[in-house]
């Protein structure tokens, strides 16, 4: 009996130590250095705010992993491909690659679609969020949402519904043409509207890696919380650039 009790105590202690290690693991992983990107024409854009700046709506661990691991992986994939495929290395920008996707050799289209789309989408994503943001749009963007998308309240409901309808992984975008007309456009995986000659005004990432650590399977809750970090001033600037034909990603 004493021997069995001793084993139970040892097992209990071992289990407790393992549980403690597992609880600490996500923080250690999130703080680990991002893998170094190979030299190449593409680079991870500098984010204008710290990983914890969007809390409590987007937690620091998710932001760190999303930026330094997921986005970095797309950049690394493009740079590795550029070493072997001159057509990628010679492109003036990722936007040019995506806009001419169907002109690329078929053997590399999927690679560019996934990694180039991921790079372009996330570059936009970091730009249109920020601390001390949220609220409602004003000025030309507000007027365009009323004119083209039925008003801000209806637009928000439609945008969230589109995000919920994305099966598996994808994005919900708002596109803009040179006349300033807006449209709602969901896309699967890392597909970008740029591939179809559309200009992206802004969008939200509904891949699970964008929200799962905080919201688990509650995508609807994440979609609602996300409005609190949307920086409408940045979107105003993008809207003006799009109408001037100067918005690439």
pTM recorded for the entire structure: 0.85
pLDDT of residue 36: 53
Reported confidence tier of residue 53, pLDDT bands at 50, 70, 90:
very high
Question: For a pLDDT cut of 70, what percent of the chain falls above it?
Answer: 85
Dump pLDDT digits (tens) for 193-217: 999 999 999 999 999 999 999 999 9
What is the average pLDDT across 112-133?
98
Buried b (16+ CB within 10 A) or exposed e, 190-205: bbbbbbeebbbbbbbb
Q: What is the pLDDT of residue 25?
A: 39
Does residue 12 register a pLDDT over 70?
A: no
pLDDT at site 5 = 39
Mean pLDDT calculated for residue range 166-177:
98
- Distance (Å, whole) CA 5 – CA 48: 57
pLDDT at residue 11 is higher than 90: no
Picking from 14-18, 109-113, 143-147, 164-168, which range would have the lowest pLDDT averaged per residue?
14-18
Confidence at 16, pLDDT banded by 50, 70, 90: very low
Tell me if residue 142 falls in helix, strand or coil.
Answer: helix
Domain residue limits, the chain: 60-127, 139-243
What is 60-127's CATH number?
A: 1.10.287.990
Residue 27 has pLDDT above 50, yes or no: no
Backbone CA torsion sign across 168, 73, 231, 194: negative
Q: What is the pLDDT of residue 64?
A: 98
Q: What radius of gyration do the chain's Cα atoms show?
A: 21
**CATH code for 139-243?**
3.55.40.20
Q: What is the pLDDT of residue 66?
A: 98
Q: Using an 8 Å Cβ cutoff, are 88 and 82 in contact?
A: yes
pLDDT band at 38 (very low <50, low <70, confident <90, very high): low
Per-residue pLDDT, 238 = 98
The answer to whether the CB of 41 falls within 8 A of the CB of 89 is: yes
pLDDT over 80 at 42, yes or no:
yes
Q: What angle do CA 54, 213, 60 make, to 5 degrees?
A: 30
Length reported for the chain: 249
pLDDT band for 32, please (50, 70, 90 cuts). Answer: very low
Residue 220, pLDDT > 90, answer yes
């Amino acid at each position: 009996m004493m021997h069995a009790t001793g084993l139970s105590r040892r097992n209990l202690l071992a289990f407790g130590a393992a549980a403690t290690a597992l609880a600490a693991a996500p923080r250690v992983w999130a703080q680990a250095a991002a893998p170094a990107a190979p030299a190449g024409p593409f680079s991870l854009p500098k984010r204008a705010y710290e990983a914890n700046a969007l809390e409590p709506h987007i937690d620091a661990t998710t932001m760190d992993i999303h930026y330094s691991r997921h986005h970095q992986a797309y950049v690394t994939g493009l740079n590795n491909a550029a070493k072997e495929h001159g057509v990628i290395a010679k492109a003036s920008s990722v936007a040019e690659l995506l806009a001419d996707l169907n002109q690329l050799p078929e053997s590399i289209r999927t690679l560019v679609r996934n990694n180039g789309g991921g790079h372009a989408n996330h570059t936009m994503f970091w730009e249109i969020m920020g601390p001390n943001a949220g609220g409602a749009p004003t000025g030309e963007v507000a007027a365009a949402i009323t004119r083209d998308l039925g008003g801000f309240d209806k637009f928000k409901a439609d945008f969230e519904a589109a995000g919920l309808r994305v099966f598996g992984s994808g994005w919900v975008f708002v596109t803009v043409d040179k006349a300033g007309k807006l449209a709602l456009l969901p896309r699967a995986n890392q597909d970008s509207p740029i591939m179809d000659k559309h200009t992206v005004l802004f969008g939200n990432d509904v891949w699970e890696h964008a929200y799962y650590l905080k919201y688990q399977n509650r995508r609807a809750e994440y979609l609602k919380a996300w409005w609190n970090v949307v920086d409408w001033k940045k979107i105003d600037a993008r809207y003006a650039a799009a109408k001037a034909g100067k918005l690439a990603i």
